[in-house]
Amino acid sequence: MSEQTPLELIIKREFKYPAKIVFEAWLDPKQLMQWMGPTPDINLNLCEIDPNEKGTYRFGFVQDNEPTLYVSGQYATITRYTLLVFSWTWENHETAGGVETLVTITFEAIDDNTTQLSLHHQKFGDQETCDHHNMGWNGTFDKLTRHLDKQ
């Protein structure tokens, strides 16, 4: 389910896995390399991550022969298995480059084997960028589901 308000995005998705497993997929570089990206043909070719509060990350997204697009940020809050808050800045994106946005992800255990993930991405510079991120995050969650199903 997606809900969109001006210049912010809220997406909720249920995963049939414990919160610990879903949460750890966000901070483990080996796992991130397998699922982070908005479509099946856009994947990471770079994953640098310091999964601690005030730690930084940098991802390189690649598709076919296109130039790598980089996103980087810093973790503001990491509360194991329940909350991630981090900045998100595209470094070399045509329209969104240099605009720092904020991502808040909550992991709510519905029961022992089901987690509701809620993503709140805010501070977009324009509606078009917000719309693209809506598509991107939904595609990314589809890839996360497929990744977890393989585990």
pLDDT digits (tens, 9 = 90+) for 81-138: 999 999 999 997 665 557 899 999 999 999 999 999 999 999 998 888 899 999 999 9
User: In whole angstroms, how far apart are CA 38 and each of 20, 43, 83, 102, 114?
Assistant: 23, 8, 22, 18, 23
Q: What is the CATH number of the domain that holds 52?
A: 3.30.530.20
Whole-number mean pLDDT of the chain? Answer: 93
| Residues of the chain above pLDDT 70, percent | 92
Element (H, E) at 28: none
Residue 57 CB: number of other CB atoms within 10 A? 20
- Close Cβ partners of 79 (under 8 Å, ≥ 6 residues apart): none
Query: Distance between CA 36 and CA 84 in Å, rounded?
Result: 16
Mean pLDDT confidence for 65-83: 96
Structure tokens belonging to residue 14: 């249920």
Structure tokens belonging to residue 36: 């982070």
Using an 8 Å Cβ cutoff, are 29 and 47 in contact?
A: yes
Mean pLDDT confidence for 68-83: 97
For the cut 60, the answer to whether the pLDDT of residue 10 exceeds it is yes
Query: Distance between CA 136 and CA 133 in Å, rounded?
Result: 5
pLDDT for the residue 125: 87
Nearest CA to 117 out of 128, 103, 131, 130 is that of: 103
pLDDT in tens, 14-25: 999 999 999 999
For the cut 80, the answer to whether the pLDDT of residue 48 exceeds it is yes
pLDDT for the residue 151: 85
For the cut 90, the answer to whether the pLDDT of residue 140 exceeds it is yes
For the cut 80, the answer to whether the pLDDT of residue 39 exceeds it is yes
pLDDT for the residue 19: 97
Task: State the total domains in the chain.
Answer: 1
- The angle at the Cα of 150, spanning 57 to 137, to the nearest 5 degrees, equals 45
pLDDT for the residue 136: 96
Per the structure, the complete domain to which residue 97 belongs is given by: 2-150
